[in-house]
Homo-oligomer: A and B are copies of this chain.
């Protein structure tokens, strides 16, 4: 018997909200019948949308929120003056134990700022990070930080490694996840101080972590490691470069396959294979980034996604709750702290 769980939804976040949020939850409830939903947003708009889906209606509660966080709100402003927003009330629901996780397609900076203040960071974590998983040549890889921290210390990077390892093990189901530090070369002397120092700490550590060493940009899509650790500046740039490259390649292929009558016939014959390829690379199927290192599960959906994409962001949240990610990460961080004094000493020697 699967335990029932509750997901809070910021119903007003995202370009196509609230419709795509409700439609996304309606898709998710068919796949995850053990989930109850709490919708936070404009009750008048939400009630008929939810009522249109009898299955969803049965397991959902609507909480009215007067206000919304806009895409332009600065994080500090959203934090101070959007206390009655759908985003804030949805995060509050996790703190007040009504919900096991929250999913929002709203303003990322605001979501991080409010989550940090409401939920606080986990013991042992200085800075939360944004993490996401995506398809690679070898399967799936998880990468963090994707933009929460423009500059990172060696200690931040080490903490990201531990968080990413737990995620890959418990949620992605990788037996002994390998961890790579993103750098501009694989030799020990490459890169800046922080990345070299983080490598030294991870090498010297007694943590049960499979530290692969440095990796380079092309190792990300190659799937050389299960977890890619980097600062939020490089991480954000590389994941967006990868997304843009896939779009570029897809455009290119579309043009190539319509460029002649033979190519068009060929494309029709190969359409099953091309459709499967397109489905695997569809960004909606990888939607749902995790704000990791908080005292609670917060999932960020792409703002521009549709119901199918939002359904996948809900799936990420469900996977983290079902796999007890949170308790396992807390355990690992207790171990990290016990280990840290030792590691630091070893790194210096």
Contacts and interface: CB of A to CB of B under 8 A. Distances in A.
A184 B236 contact: yes
Interface string A201-225: 0000000000000001111111000
Contacts of A281: 249, 252
A281 B39 CA distance: 46
Interface in A48-89: 74
Given A150-B184, A263-B269, A221 B234 contact: no
A98 interface: no
Interface stretch (A23-31, A271-279, A307-315, A338-346): A271-279
Contacts of A269: 262-263, 265-266, 269
A344 B346 CA distance: 46
Contacts of A262: 269-270, 272-273
Nearest to A265: B269
B238 A222 contact: no
27 contacts: A150-B191, A151-B192, A184-B236, A217-B237, A218-B241, A218-B243, A219-B244, A220-B241, A221-B244, A230-B237, A237-B237, A237-B238, A241-B241, A242-B245, A245-B246, A246-B249, A249-B249, A252-B280, A253-B253, A253-B277, A256-B274, A257-B270, A259-B273, A263-B274, A266-B266, A266-B270, A266-B271
Question: Most chain-B CB neighbours within 10 Å: which of A150, A240, A246?
Answer: A240
Contacts of A151: 192
Interface of A: 74, 136-137, 147, 150-151, 182, 184-185, 189, 191-192, 216-222, 230, 232-234, 236-249, 251-253, 256-257, 259-260, 262-263, 265-274, 276-277, 280-281
Nearest to A258: B273
Nearest to A109: B185
A247 B263 contact: no
A172 to B, nearest CB: 18
A222 B241 CA distance: 9
A277 B249 CA distance: 9
Contacts of A268: 266
